[in-house]
């Protein structure tokens, strides 16, 4: 499984995860954690946000399928917060791959770190990749 939010770091994580799945002949599951709660996304004012969230997930799945046509790829949106949903998904995974945004120490303390949360709480091994 790979967490994908469209950021440069998550693209690198997706590239690495797809290559690893290809080597292991494993299925790739692309996970995208919504930024808004399911309740908010049901409101008419958030209709464009639903399309945006679907677009991010579709982008990740489309890239993996086009670059690795032999891979079995699926995508799934999960509710926020991202760290908790990725950890919950890790129960069904052999490996969880996430990107690290490379936040500074102060900003990490203030907003938290999805990758750190995953490393500390996932039930499978976690690989954290940084954009180069």
Write down the mean pLDDT value for the chain.
87
Phi, psi angle pair for 46, to nearest 5°:
-105, 10
Q: Which domain holds residue 14?
A: 2-130
Task: Assess contact for 3 and 52: CB atoms under 8 A.
Answer: no
What's this model's pTM, rounded to 2 decimal places?
0.86
Adjacency order of strands within the sheet including 96-100: 73-78, 28-33, 2-3, 96-100, 126-130
Structural domain tally of the chain? 1
Is the pLDDT at 77 greater than 80? The verdict is yes
CATH number at residue 115: 3.40.50.620
DSSP run (H or E) holding 126: strand 126-130
Instruction: State whether residue 75 is helix, strand or coil.
Output: strand
């Amino acid at each position: 499984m790979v967490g994908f939010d469209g950021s440069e770091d998550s693209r690198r994580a997706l590239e690495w995860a797809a290559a690893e799945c290809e080597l292991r002949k494993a299925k790739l599951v692309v996970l995208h954690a919504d930024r808004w709660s399911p309740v908010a996304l049901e409101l008419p004012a958030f209709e464009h946000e639903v399309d945006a969230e679907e677009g991010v997930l579709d982008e990740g799945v489309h890239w993996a399928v086009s670059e690795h046509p032999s891979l079995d790829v699926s995508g799934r949106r999960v509710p926020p917060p991202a760290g908790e949903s990725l950890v919950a998904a890790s129960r069904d995974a052999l490996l969880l791959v996430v990107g690290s945004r490379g936040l500074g120490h102060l900003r990490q303390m203030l907003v938290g770190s999805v990758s750190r949360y995953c490393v500390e709480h996932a039930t499978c091994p976690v690989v954290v990749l940084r954009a180069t």
